[in-house]
A and B are shown apart, each in its own frame.
Chain A
Amino acid sequence: MKTEIDFCGIKMKNPVTVASGTFGYGRGHSEFIDLNKLGAIITKGTSLKPKTGNKPPRICETDSGMMNCIGLENPGLDYFMEVDLPWLKKFDTPIIVNCFGGTEGTVEAYVEICKVLNTLPIDGVEINLSCPNVKAGCLAFGTTYEGVKEITTACRKVLTSKPLIVKLTPNVTDITLPAKGAEDAGADGISLINTLTAMKIDIEKRKPILSINTGGLSGPAIKPVAVRMVYQASHAVKIPVMGLGGIMNGDDAIEFMLAGAKCISMGSANLVDPESSIKAIAGIEDYMKRHNIEDINSIIGAVEMN
Chain B
Amino acid sequence: MAYKYKLDCEILDTEKIIEGIYKFKIKAPEIAEIAKAGQFLEIQVSTTGETFLRRPISIYNIEKAEGTVEFIFQVKGKGTEILSTKKVGDIINVIGPLGNGAFTVKDYKKVAIIGGGIGTYPLYELAKELKGRAETTMYMGFRNKSLVTLEKEFEEVASNVVITTDDGSYKEKGYAINVLKEDCKKEKPDIIFACGPLPMLKAVQEFANSENIKCEMSLEERMGCGIGACVGCNVRIVTENPDEVKYNYVCQHGPVFNSKKVII
Contacts and interface: CB of A to CB of B under 8 A. Distances in A.
Interface of A: 21-24, 27-29, 31-32, 44, 52-53, 55-62, 64-66, 68, 70, 73, 219-220, 268, 270-275
B234 A56 contact: yes
Given A22-B229, A28-B228, A73 B247 contact: yes
Contacts of B234: 53, 55-56, 58, 73
Q: Which 3 A-B pairs give the minimum distances between C-beta atoms?
A: A59-B232, A28-B227, A271-B225
Contacts of A271: 53, 224-225, 229-230
A152 to B, nearest CB: 27
Contacts of A52: 245-247
Contact of B52 (A31, A56, A61, A270): A61
Q: Describe A's contact surface by its main secondary structure.
A: loop
B223 interface: yes
A219 B229 contact: no
Contact of B223 (A23, A55, A59, A273): A59
Interface string B244-258: 011100001000000
Given A31-B2, A64-B52, A275-B6, A57 B229 contact: no
12 contacts: A24-B228, A24-B229, A24-B230, A28-B225, A28-B228, A52-B246, A57-B222, A58-B222, A219-B52, A268-B52, A272-B44, A274-B225
Nearest to B93: A273
B66 interface: no
Interface residues of B, number: 31
Majority secondary structure, B binding face: loop
B3 interface: yes
Given A53-B247, A271-B229, 17 more contacts: A22-B229, A27-B228, A31-B3, A32-B2, A32-B6, A52-B246, A56-B233, A58-B234, A59-B233, A61-B52, A66-B224, A219-B52, A268-B52, A271-B224, A271-B225, A271-B230, A273-B6
Contacts of B6: 32, 273-275
A197 to B, nearest CB: 17
A32 B222 contact: no
B82 to A, nearest CB: 13
Contacts of A270: 225, 229
Contacts of B232: 58-59, 68, 70
A59 B222 contact: yes
A56 B225 contact: no
**Residue of A27, A53, A64, A274 most packed against chain B (CB within 10 A):** A274
Contact of B54 (A57, A60, A272): A272
Nearest to A221: B52
Nearest to B2: A31
